[in-house]
Amino acid sequence: MEKLRSGYLFPEISMRREAHQKKYPDAKVISLGIGDTTEPIPSIITSAMSEYALGLSTPEGYQGYGPEQGQKSLRKAIAEKVYPNMGIRDTEVFISDGAQCDIARLQMLFGRDVTIAVQDPTFPGYVDSGVIMGQTGGADESSGGRYSRIEYMRCAPENAFFPDLATVPRTDVIFFCSPNNPTGHAASREQLRQLVDFARGNGSIVVFDSAYASYVSADGDKPRSIYEVPGAREVAIEISSFSKFAGFTGVRLGWAVVPDELLYADGTRVARDFDRVVCTSFNGASSVAQVGGLACLATEEGREAVRRVVGKYKENTRVLVDTFRALGKEVYGGDDSPYVWVRFPGQRSWEVFAEILEKTHVITVPGSGFGPGGEGFIRVSAFNSRERVVEACARLTSFLA
Amino acid sequence: MEKLRSGYLFPEISMRREAHQKKYPDAKVISLGIGDTTEPIPSIITSAMSEYALGLSTPEGYQGYGPEQGQKSLRKAIAEKVYPNMGIRDTEVFISDGAQCDIARLQMLFGRDVTIAVQDPTFPGYVDSGVIMGQTGGADESSGGRYSRIEYMRCAPENAFFPDLATVPRTDVIFFCSPNNPTGHAASREQLRQLVDFARGNGSIVVFDSAYASYVSADGDKPRSIYEVPGAREVAIEISSFSKFAGFTGVRLGWAVVPDELLYADGTRVARDFDRVVCTSFNGASSVAQVGGLACLATEEGREAVRRVVGKYKENTRVLVDTFRALGKEVYGGDDSPYVWVRFPGQRSWEVFAEILEKTHVITVPGSGFGPGGEGFIRVSAFNSRERVVEACARLTSFLA
């Protein structure tokens, strides 16, 4: 535990926000920081949860423990609606209380002795949970806080946000987030094919985090799931979430797919062990949340309602991208994700974060919080109302122009 | 992972139940097995959840991520209503999705190198999560499946369900469940005083599981919390749950208390590290569940409604205890817990389980599933309707008389 550097990124930002608000009590702070949804949940979904919750006070409606792996109907809806024609069976879908929790459970499954690789930059949860599990050595502050025993795969504009796998050493596990948080880059079909082949050749497990898959634009040829790539069932676990898909950040619901063909070197099924971890260290996602998840997926009306909300955030990213482009900034992401990734050459991320906060009362996220490769960037989130995004952009324009 | 013996107890029972139902498709199986609540949740609680869920579709009612540690109001209600006059601060209460999940997060905190002690018999989650974390050696089938490197503290009728601590070796962590699952024994004030002194003397951390505290009878002198014992704040974490207290087994809500005075040998606070584990591997309990939890505690009406439900189950335990006593059986528990612990001298637990299922279509839980010390016992749960408990007792009487 003592190896874990400083606070976890978002609590740290939250503390700085509080300090700022204390310093400027009248300032209208706008958060384009933590990826927290702001749009109300479509009422077709909340009505289902509301009705279910009320029913819990009746003998007919009451339900106690559900299956640890989740309700059959929800597992089936995910297999059919999220993974059409990808051969995913409902029994391979494990319902969870969110992708972050699944990362921790996967780390419990992998244990202390595995080696892991992560994109650099990427969501800090993969590394931090690995540090807590004892998979790493100490952090080297002189290299931007890299932990020893973790393979950092640099993903930058210079390499189309994808590592040259010929130079990446083998690890037991590869965490791969696409569309990537924070860069917003969605890996191309060819990139994912390379990743799957690399993992197959090395006998590695890919943990593919598709929490932002619903933001992938329909007009590119970018897979929303790794299971669109042949051979992925033999190497990849996919984790995903209703958080950014349906505004369930507070309701808490996600899932992991562990295909039957994913085997250990001795031929036993990884899914069998994951099932044991789930049954031992988890007791299923809240039944109310599961009913809400089913309402998102079960009808065309639910699916359309969710698509509309995602569409709103995608319009926000357009505003953000246009703003930073007009300011002459190098801007990435946005097309396939709710995150915009902006470079500030020659500056440190935390400096940029602090300067923007001080001058515009806008919260962003310092790119270096996602790994040393994020230094010099900030992440700007589209999760806010149109009005506030527009207001934030006006302030940023005055300040940065 | 491969060290983990057979299935987790309850999935195993569930499989046997399915097989039984297949063999006897017309049998009306009654479950007095898994401790799963059956009484509807009082409507004062479900209304609060229902209304909140509906509000999530409005701009005013929508909420995204809450604090990872839980809503301030709920933390405060728990500190004040569950721990009156025990000096527990709201900041020491961490809201969770259930005690089983907190056990896993505590095990992540403790890591692989700690030594642990458990009651024997006890809830299998402590041992199983320790095995998954790699804290133990292999299981020795000749000793009832004891894992090496775990200290099993025998708790039997012969020692008033409390170990002779003078003969128990020091461990880093002591898991202690009271009222105990499965024996139903609530430790006396004197027993807990001994436990706290033992931990203080050894520099051990006690993880006190009080998930069944609401079943402790008001007329005995048995603490509902370890913090009723002087000095406990310096040695004990308490985990607890709304599951058996308010019927939240499916809704999922619990909490852990980590007092500020609980320190590592180097003087740093355990709570600081637990906070990091929570922030890294958990994203808070479902907001809907938290609203329900607050409705249980915030008003006298809510608290009284919950007490009435617990009272119903306690009447069921009375029926069960009377039935087994009338059959001349040695019966324990029941007074302070929803579980009745029955001895079948000279028989193996799984045999008794199978025989009762075969002859009466009643599901119980084999005592040996809770540790080698449970061999020769079965656990019978009061979580069912009065009608079914009475029917099960009639069948048991015909069969065992």
Convert the pLDDT of each residue in A294-330 to its tens digit: 999 999 999 999 999 999 999 999 999 999 999 999 9
The H-or-E segment that residue B220 falls in is none
Task: Quickly list DSSP for A21-56.
Answer: HHHSTT---EE--S----SPPPHHHHHHHHHHHHHT
pLDDT at A2 > cutoff 80: no
Chain B nearest C-alpha distance from A329 (Å): 30
Q: What is the predicted pLDDT for the residue at B10?
A: 83
Q: Which residue of A12, A252, A294, A386 is the best one to mutate when testing the B interface, meaning the one whose CB has the most B CBs within 10 A?
A: A252
Number of A:B CB contacts under 8 A?
233
Q: Which domains does chain B have, with CATH numbers?
A: 9-41+302-400 (3.90.1150.10), 47-299 (3.40.640.10)
B133 vs A: CB within 8 A: yes
Task: Note the pLDDT tens digit of each residue in A189-211.
Answer: 999 999 999 999 999 999 999 99
- Structure-token pair, residue B84: 């009156």
Q: What is the pLDDT of residue A144?
A: 82
Phi, psi of B110 (to 5 degrees): -70, -40
Q: Do B53 and A36 touch (CB under 8 A)?
A: no
A257 three-state secondary structure: strand
Residue A280 contacts B where some CB pair is shorter than 8 Å = yes
Euclidean distance between CA atoms A207 and A192, whole angstroms? 12
A132 has a pLDDT exceeding 90: yes
pLDDT band for position B220 (50/70/90)?
confident
Residues of A in contact with B305 (CB under 8 A): none
Q: Is B265 on the interface with A (CB under 8 A)?
A: no
Q: Which residues in chain B have their CB less than 8 angstroms from residue A53's CB?
A: 46, 49-50, 53, 288, 292
Helix (H, G, I), strand (E, B) or coil at A159: helix
What SS3 state is found at A353?
A: helix
A329 vs A323: CA distance, rounded Å? 9
- B contact test, residue of A96, A97, A266 with most B CBs within 10 A: A97
CB contact under 8 A, A97 and B252: yes
Q: Do B54 and A46 touch (CB under 8 A)?
A: yes
Contact A43 B62 (CB under 8 A): no
Most A CBs within 10 Å, among B8, B49, B114, to test the A interface: B49
The average pLDDT across B220-244 equals 97
Where does the pLDDT of residue A242 fall: very low under 50, low under 70, confident under 90, or very high at 90 and above? Answer: very high
Q: Do A286 and B287 touch (CB under 8 A)?
A: no
What ipTM describes this predicted complex? 0.95
